[in-house]
Structure 1
């Protein structure tokens, strides 16, 4: 059984951007942006990602999923039990950076004041509850003033320390 690695966080924290750099930083791991394969049924999509990660683990390789995932949702997936542990890393940025990133997205993404406020509150919740709502505790990497390459390097080190 191999561990599973999940890079989570709010919208705008940098998960999609960092995934591209993680593929280079972790050539012996399979790195996925979970937004690339989703469906109207988020539980089914999440379950499918764990099935993919399990199959990859069968060959001894490790998987890093980049996308907003929470322990309770992941634990409901039928393939959850096939992982030795699930490690979570929170990509975080300050409120001003998050808002600028979200408002810089194309209009079709539908960024509203309420959406920005929801993600501000979610970011605070992750910081306040990372020690207790995640097992093992949530690790946070702040992307506010880091390049995607720098963030990927920190995530690489986090993954390699747990393999």
Structure 2
């Protein structure tokens, strides 16, 4: 994403020097120091508990900024995702860390302009068993439009995340199972995961 360079005033697409933690103007080579912090993404299927746990995670991680990405989205999911990474980057420049709770996959996140500004992107899969997920999805209001096909799609997606977490994510995907756990308990496990990686 282009910015106005503090060195020459040109509107440029900066390069990133990861070793020196700077973004560099291609016109004048002005190097602006940046904080390259890790980004944390709590992903998973619909019905796994991401929205619910986000509320409890804010209490468990008062020194981080926790967002439910479903609260701000658009018809253009790529643009919405890109906007979330811009917000997370700006939070990082203040010395804080962002935790994004919402279904995100590496192939989509890595297309975002600001992906390159993070030291690492860590993913946690919020999981629950098939019976719990189906009960949660079918218990939603009618306007949510839960269908048999939707339930089956998310059953398959849950299995895919478990089967491919070691290979499709770098660093490997960590899973927290919410089945039989309270939202507070799940938030505590996520808190420990975040704090171990800051």
TM-score using structure 2 length:
0.82
Selected match of 2:110 from 75, 81, 90: 75
Q: How many Å separate the matches in 1 of 2:140 and 2:101?
A: 19
Q: How many Å separate the matches in 2 of 1:108 and 1:41?
A: 21
- 1:112 Cα deviation (Å)? 0.1
Structure 2 alignment gaps of length 5 or more: 1-35
Structure 1 alignment gaps of length 5 or more: none
Match of 1:90 in 2: 125
- 1:106 Cα deviation (Å)? 0.6
Q: How many Å separate the matches in 1 of 2:91 and 2:79?
A: 18
Match of 1:100 in 2: 135
Instruction: State the secondary structure of the residue aligned to 1:162.
Output: coil
- 1:122 Cα deviation (Å)? 0.1
Match of 1:152 in 2: 187
Structure 1 ranges of 4+ moved more than 6 A: none
Note the aligned Cα RMSD (angstroms).
Answer: 0.2
Larger-Rg structure: 2
Q: How many Å separate the matches in 2 of 1:91 and 1:146?
A: 12
Q: How many Å separate the matches in 2 of 1:109 and 1:79?
A: 32
Q: 1:103-135 CA deviation, whole Å, 9 max, x = no partner?
A: 010100000000000000000000000000000
How many correspondences in the alignment? 163
- 1:154 Cα deviation (Å)? 0.1
Which structure has more relative contact order (CA 8 Å, sep 6+)? It is 1
- 1:78 Cα deviation (Å)? 0.2
Q: 1:59-114 CA deviation, whole Å, 9 max, x = no partner?
A: 11000000000000000000000000000000000000000000010100000000
